[in-house]
Structure 1
Amino acid sequence: MKLRVAPHALGDAAGWVAKSLPNRPSVPVLAGVLLRAVDGGLQVSGYDYDRSARDTVPADVAEGGAALVSGRLLAEIAKALPAKPVDITSVGAHLELVCGSARFTLPTMPVEDYPALPDLPGPAGTIDAAEFAAAVAQVAVAAGRDETLPMMTGVRVEIEGDRVALLATDRYRLAVREFEWQPDDAGLSATALVPAQTLADTAKTLAQQGGQVRIHLGESGQGEGVVGFSGTARHTTSRLLDGGNYPPVRTLFPDPDKVTSHATVTVATLIEVVKRVSLVGGKTTPVLLTFAPDGLTVEAGGTEEARASEAMDVTFTGDTLTIGFNPAYLVDGLTALGSVVARFEFVDAFKPAVITPADEGGESVPGYRYLIMPIRVSR
């Protein structure tokens, strides 16, 4: 293999693929990235049996071939190269990178020991890359982090024709985002449970390239199925989580007829107040919000009798209500709204609250809902 490639192209591709590599690979070759010289380009690929990533960048190829080298080491080197063309050459059991006066020699691993990357499933439809990334970010924030509950670490994708819904929950909060897309089959009906971190990383990266994201779905099933996402020159696949027993989370949203009070607040101001007040208690100590017609008071208590409170403006309809929340979960939800104003809806202080983006009149903007469970707090 012998080729010349731009340093920024190599750095971007190696850096993106290296993110998908396992921290503790079951076999040494899974820590590598596969470099393959193809007609007019360089393919950079990584795979750990759960997730695959491939990027193709322009290159002047003198000789075809392939080499397998340490992925993270290559990414670090590529990121540090000067702004000069990079010559990559296979020399025996090594790979040489020459960029200006900088020269690196990397040991290679047997290419034949590297597993074949899975093919992309059949195409299902497309959506604007930036819109997709924004939607995924709004939902992934509510996904669980506990690997002992793998179902909670995923984002459930529900497709019905030209409508897509993304759902995620860690049992203490729930985020739902709905949007339209362009399906290849107008009658498509499918569900998939995708690892949240993989989905978020993929959507963010493909958005940086712009254009459209194509979603690839195999048979609509559960368990060991595969989902794929492709952009201009990059594509990734991910093993699906087993979502056969995914709970009916939509039933957690309260009946609109049972909502007894609602409030509208400025998002940025409330985030600042919650962060300040929660300093006395830390990230997991609840903050207490008292909504009243004359304003909102945010309070928190910590160890050694440390306490804090702050008042702010609010537009509130209903009887005075005091409710406690995990401050980190509350800030996450407010940040994910993507709006200047937030609308809170309450049944009572012991039922889940629903937060939505709001327009200037204080009415909910459809498309995104964030449900957060209250925490009982004794004063």
Structure 2
Amino acid sequence: MKFRVDRDVFADAVAWAARTLPTRPGSQPVLAGLMITAGDGLILNSFDYETSARATLNADVIEEGTVLVPGRMLADIVRALPAKPVDVSLDGSRVQLTCGSARFSIPSMPVDEYPSLPDMPTASGTVKSDDFAHAVSQAVTAAGRDDMLPVLTGVRIEIEGDTIALLATDRFRLSSTELTWTPQTPDASFAALVPAKILADTAKSLTTGSEITIALSAGGQGDGIIGFEGQVAGGVRRTTTRLLDGEFPKVRALFPAEHLTTAVVSKAELVESVKRVALVAGRNTAVQMTFGDGGITLDAGSSDEAQATESVEAVINGESLTTGFNPAYLLDGLGAIDEAEVVLSFTQASKPVVISGKPAEDQDDPGFRYLLMPRRLLN
């Protein structure tokens, strides 16, 4: 095997394909390897039995062949190379890499021990890459991070016709957003539970192209696989990952049909106020929020410790109420909203708040919604 490739293109592709490689592969060291196949250009593959990545890129291939190399080591080396063409060749059991006056010799790994990569499922449709990445970034805000509750570490993707809905929850908060796409069949209807971390990383990494192809295998969960593919400068990138098994909570019913109190407030002003007041909030304690008299009053701290209070102007409709929230979770939700003004909607103080952006005059759908459970207030 022997090829020459542009350093920037190669470095970017290697970093992308190696991003999910395990740092400690345990009893299967080959899983830390990156497979390079030189033929009609280059194909870079990685796989850990759960998630696979494949990047294709242009290269001047002199001799065809396949080699398996330590992926993270190769990524570190290529990233540090000077901005010159990179020559790579296989010499016995070692990979020789030359760039300008820099030379590296890397031990190869046994190709025959590497697992077979899963096939990309049949394409289900396409979506604008920027829209998808933005919707995913909003949805993962509420995804769980506790591996003891694996179902809650995923984002539920629900597809009905030309609409994709994304839902996530960690039991304390819930996110919901929708976007349109172009399905292969107009009556498409399926659901999938995708690991949030993989989904977020994949959606963000495929924004250089105009659209992303989504491919979902039959079954939807358990042994199901979802794939994402997009064009990038210099080639194509593809990721597949196994779907999470288990029943996602029926969370849609948590959004109330009506509200007794609403507050419309500047997002920027509320964010800055929450940040300041939260400086004196004790660990795992709430920031108290009182809605009424033309504004929101925020309080934190206790009489024995530091205290803070601040008010923000707001348009309040409905009954006055006092509640409290985890300030970090509150800021996460506010940060995911695009609009300059946000709407906080309540049924009562002890029930969750629904936070959304104030829709334009000609819109009824607020788009992204973030439901947050209140925290018990300290007397």
TM-score, normalized by the shorter chain, greater than 0.5: yes
In the alignment, the residues of structure 1 paired with residue 264 and residue 296 of structure 2 have an alpha-carbon distance, to the nearest angstrom, of: 10
For residues 189-268 of structure 1, the aligned pairs below 5 Å read 189-207=189-207, 209-232=208-231, 233-243=236-246, 245-256=247-258, 259-268=259-268
How far did 1:367 drift? 2.2
Contact 1:356 1:364 (8 Å CA) reproduced: no
Whether the 8 Å contact between 1:13 and 1:55 is mirrored in structure 2 is yes
Q: 1:220 to 1:185 in 2, by over 3 A?
A: farther
Q: Which residue of 1 aligns with 2:173?
A: 173
How far the C-alpha of 1:144 sits from its partner, in A, is: 0.2
**Alignment-derived partner of residue 29 in structure 2:** 28
Q: How does 1:357-372 map to 2 (within 5 A)?
A: 357-359=357-359, 365-372=365-372
* Maintained 8 Å contact 2:282/2:301: no
Letter in 1 for 2:212: V
SS in 1 for 2:134: helix
2:212 aligns to what SS in structure 1? strand
For the Cα contact (< 8 Å) 1:126–1:213, is it kept in 2?
A: yes
| RMSD across aligned positions (CA) | 1.6
Q: Say if 2:335 is the partner of 1:332.
A: no
Tell me the secondary structure at the aligned position of residue 119 of structure 2: coil
- CA drift at 1:308: 1.3
How many Å apart are 1:321 and its aligned residue? Answer: 1.5
Partner residue in 1 for 2:288 = 288
- Matched position secondary structure for 1:55: strand
Asked if structure 2 preserves the Cα contact closer than 8 Å seen for 1:213 and 1:229, the reply is yes
Could you say what secondary structure the match of 2:142 adopts? coil
Alpha-carbon shift at residue 335 of structure 1 (Å): 0.7
Report SS of the residue matched to 1:284. coil
The amino acid of 1:71's aligned partner reads G
In 1, the alpha carbon distance for the partners of 2:47 and 2:216 equals: 19
Match of 1:52 in 2: 52
Quote the offset at 1:3 in angstroms.
0.4
How far apart, in 2, do the equivalents of 1:72 and 1:302 lie? 49
SS at match of 1:305: coil
- CA distance, structure 2, for counterparts of residue 250 and residue 215 of structure 1: 24
1:131-142 aligned at under 5 Å gives the runs: 131-142=131-142
SS of structure 2 residue aligned to 1:89: strand
TM-score when normalising by structure 1: 0.95
- In the TM superposition, what is the alpha-carbon distance from 1:169 to its structure 2 partner? 0.3
SS in 2 for 1:231: strand
Name the structure 2 match of 1:312: 312
In the TM superposition, residue 378 of structure 1 has moved relative to its aligned partner by 2.5
Whole-angstrom CA distance in 1 between matches of 2:60 and 2:304: 67
Unaligned 5+ runs, structure 2: none
Give % identity: 51
In 1, Cα distance between equivalents of 2:9 and 2:304: 54
Q: Aligned pairs, how many? A: 374
For 1:303 and 1:94, how far apart are their aligned partners in 2?
68
Q: 2: distance between equivalents of 1:6 and 1:63? A: 17
Deviation digits for residues 337-369 of structure 1 (CA, Å, limit 9, x no counterpart): 122111110011100110111136698643221
For the residue of structure 2 that corresponds to 1:98, the secondary structure is strand
What amino acid maps onto 2:38 in structure 1? A
What TM-score, normalized to structure 2? 0.95
Contact 2:157 2:166 in 1 (8 A): yes
Flag the 1:282–1:12 CA change in 2: closer, same or farther, 3 A: farther
CA distance in 2 between partners of 1:263 and 1:284 (Å): 25
Secondary structure of 1:337's aligned partner: coil
Q: Given the alignment of the two structures, is residue 14 of structure 1 paired with residue 14 of structure 2, yes or no?
A: yes
Q: Are the structure 2 counterparts of residues 345 and 364 from structure 1 closer, same or farther at C-alpha, using a change threshold of 3 Å?
A: farther
Question: In 2, Cα distance between the equivalents of 1:185 and 1:363?
Answer: 28
Partner of 1:155: 155
Where structure 1 has 5 or more consecutive residues not aligned to the other structure, the ranges are: none
Structure 1 residues 168-177 or 12-21, which shifts more?
Answer: 12-21
- Measured in 1, the distance between the counterparts of 2:176 and 2:327 equals 20
Where 1:141 maps in the other structure, the secondary structure is: helix
**Would the aligned equivalents of 2:37 and 2:67 in 1 still touch at CA under 8 Å?**
yes
